[in-house]
């Protein structure tokens, strides 16, 4: 009986609509090697992937070649889909179409609605356009994609409460996979297909809703197309960003400083069902007041249903905030990502290293730690570099991005000695060096190495129910 049930189980129908990249332009055997074709291979016989790509088409109805007017659009609507991927917007960035980009939000909303209203009530996923390397500003120009197309599509997805896949970073460091600077080859299309594959097969908890479990006095805003709850705790501003659905186990990442700066890792994890949280503890420099504030925030989030262990993220002085709390709470952390981090406050803001202290930060630091004498300053030992034994007890892996030319958080006074101490203590630390880079920019344009590290560090297996 079980075998018979399996044999009659319905095939999941996936409909891909888009322009030439979806169609598989310039790829030999596009049936098999366009990204929809490769998605079919990855998924296997339990799925049926249909490709309705039409080269040159736009999302905007007033564009020079609207997808709306194609027979493939009607075929897609008639395909009885369970999942729909919408991959439009690249051609909208052409000069001829830019006068109408203010309408991309409403047009995208209308297309989303058209699929949502089908009898099959499909899961609709909006794909943000991949990068364009074209230098001709009249063509598919990447600044227009980034500044106009993507925000419009994000807003449409937010208002219609559908998922977004940010495809833009995926090939941003792989120009060699785009021979004409616009269209990915077979290998580039495989990268796209793998991202879609993960989105299809990832287990989801669609019932979990953290917003009603947060303090009643809150306002809702938007963060990169996701709902963000804003409230206060002990007089400090807090933010909790909710994914479209939660990954099983309700995992989360905690950004400790510099909210919204280089957010590509945060966005990639939101796409995968991780919550994103923040509480403003500036400028407490990881002192006892900061630790207590973080403890209270953690208790609130745990009570609201997030997982026992979190991922932590800190850029620059955020490294102090991450690791000082992690040293006190080693069993509440599953992994750490710190970026050009401050790890020894004697280096800065104390001014006992090779960098001059900022006067405002120096005074705040002394006030935070009740330092009034030179002797107390010289004896200070409340930095992460002084807490390696406590940090290592957590057993969690640590990823450090280290710009070798950083003149703010000097590597020789922070990352390098910290790495040496952690390894000597048997801890897990990975350092990725960025030769030739200074303190900025943080992260990577394509955050994939960071995202993969954090997914592996999380106790949640994001492609299964475990």
Q: What is the Cα–Cα distance from 463 to 195, expressed in whole angstroms? A: 12
> Of the candidates 144, 332, 340, which has an alpha carbon nearest to the alpha carbon of residue 261?
340
Give 246's DSSP letter: B
Q: Are 36 and 50 in contact (CB under 8 A)?
A: yes
Can you give the pLDDT at residue 357? 81
Per-residue pLDDT tens digits for 235-263: 999 999 999 999 999 999 999 999 999 99
In the predicted model, is pLDDT for residue 301 greater than 80?
yes
- 2-201 and 211-457: identical CATH topology: yes
Can you give the pLDDT at residue 466? 38
CB atoms within 10 A of CB 145: 21
Residue 77 belongs to what H/E stretch? helix 71-77
Can you give the pLDDT at residue 460? 63
Helix (H, G, I), strand (E, B) or coil at 47: strand
Helix (H, G, I), strand (E, B) or coil at 276: strand
Can you give the pLDDT at residue 84? 98
Q: Are 212 and 277 in contact (CB under 8 A)?
A: no
Q: What number does CATH give the domain 211-457?
A: 3.40.50.1820
Q: What is the Cα–Cα distance from 25 to 262, expressed in whole angstroms? A: 32
Give 257's DSSP letter: S
**DSSP bridge partners of 226:** 223
How distant, in Å, are the alpha carbons of 126, 357, 432 from that of 439?
34, 16, 14
Instruction: Read off the pLDDT band of 9 (50, 70, 90).
Output: confident
pTM, full prediction: 0.93
Give 42's DSSP letter: H
Average pLDDT, the chain: 95
Domain 2-201 matching CATH 3.40.50.1110: the answer reads yes
pLDDT average, residue stretch 43-47? 97
Residue 189 belongs to what H/E stretch? helix 186-201
**Residue position matching structure tokens 């009034």:** 372
CB atoms within 10 A of CB 279: 26
β-strands 398-403, 310-315: how paired?
unpaired
Q: Are 26 and 181 in contact (CB under 8 A)?
A: no
Q: What is the Cα–Cα distance from 319 to 258, expressed in whole angstroms? A: 11
> Would you kindly state where each structural domain of the chain is located, as residue ranges?
2-201, 211-457
Q: What is the Cα–Cα distance from 104 to 59, expressed in whole angstroms? A: 7
Listed in sequence order, the residues at least 6 apart from 192 whose beta carbon sits closer than 8 Å to its beta carbon are 21, 35, 130, 167, 170, 171, 184
> Of the candidates 246, 237, 150, 238, which has an alpha carbon nearest to the alpha carbon of residue 202?
246
């Amino acid at each position: 009986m079980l075998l018979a049930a399996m044999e009659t189980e319905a095939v999941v129908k996936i409909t891909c609509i888009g322009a030439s990249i979806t169609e598989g332009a310039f790829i030999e055997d596009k049936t098999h090697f366009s990204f929809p074709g490769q998605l079919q291979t990855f998924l296997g016989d339990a799925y049926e992937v249909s490709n309705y790509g039409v080269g040159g088409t736009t999302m905007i109805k007033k564009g020079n070649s609207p997808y709306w007017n194609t027979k493939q659009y009607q075929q897609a609507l008639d395909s009885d889909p369970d999942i729909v991927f919408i991959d439009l917007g690249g051609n909208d960035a052409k000069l001829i179409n830019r006068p109408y980009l203010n309408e991309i939000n409403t047009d995208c909303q209308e297309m989303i609605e058209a699929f949502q209203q089908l009898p099959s009530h499909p899961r609709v996923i909006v794909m943000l356009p991949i990068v364009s390397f074209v230098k001709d500003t009249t063509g598919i120009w990447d600044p227009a994609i980034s500044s106009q197309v993507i925000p419009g599509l994000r807003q449409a997805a937010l208002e219609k409460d559908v998922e977004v896949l940010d495809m833009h970073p995926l090939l941003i460091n792989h120009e060699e996979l785009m021979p004409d600077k616009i269209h990915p080859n077979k290998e580039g299309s495989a990268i796209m297909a793998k991202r879609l594959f993960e989105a299809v097969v990832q287990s989801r908890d669609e019932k979990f809703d953290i917003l009603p479990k947060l303090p009643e006095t809150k306002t809702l805003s938007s963060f990169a197309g996701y709902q963000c709850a804003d409230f206060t705790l002990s007089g400090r501003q807090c933010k909790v960003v909710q994914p479209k659905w939660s990954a099983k186990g309700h995992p989360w990442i905690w950004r400790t400083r510099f909210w919204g700066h280089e957010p590509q890792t945060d966005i990639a994890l939101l796409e995968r069902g991780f919550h994103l949280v923040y509480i403003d503890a500036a400028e407490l420099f990881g002192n006892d007041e900061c630790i207590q504030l973080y403890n209270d925030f953690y208790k609130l989030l745990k009570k609201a249903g997030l997982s026992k262990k979190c991922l932590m993220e800190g850029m620059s002085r955020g490294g102090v905030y991450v690791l000082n709390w992690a040293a006190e709470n080693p069993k509440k952390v599953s992994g750490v990502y710190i970026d050009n981090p401050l790890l020894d406050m004697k280096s800065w803001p104390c001014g006992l290293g090779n960098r001059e202290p900022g006067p405002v930060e120096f005074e705040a630091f002394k006030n935070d730690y009740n330092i009034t004498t030179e002797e107390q300053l010289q004896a200070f030992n409340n930095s992460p570099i002084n807490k390696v034994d406590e940090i290592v007890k957590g057993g969690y892996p640590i990823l450090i991005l280290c710009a070798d030319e950083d003149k703010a958080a000097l590597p020789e006074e922070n990352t390098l000695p910290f790495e040496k101490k952690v390894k000597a203590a048997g801890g897990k630390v990975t350092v990725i060096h960025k030769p030739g880079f200074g303190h900025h920019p943080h992260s990577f344009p394509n955050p994939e190495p960071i995202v993969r590290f954090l997914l592996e560090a999380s106790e949640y297996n994001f492609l299964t129910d475990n």
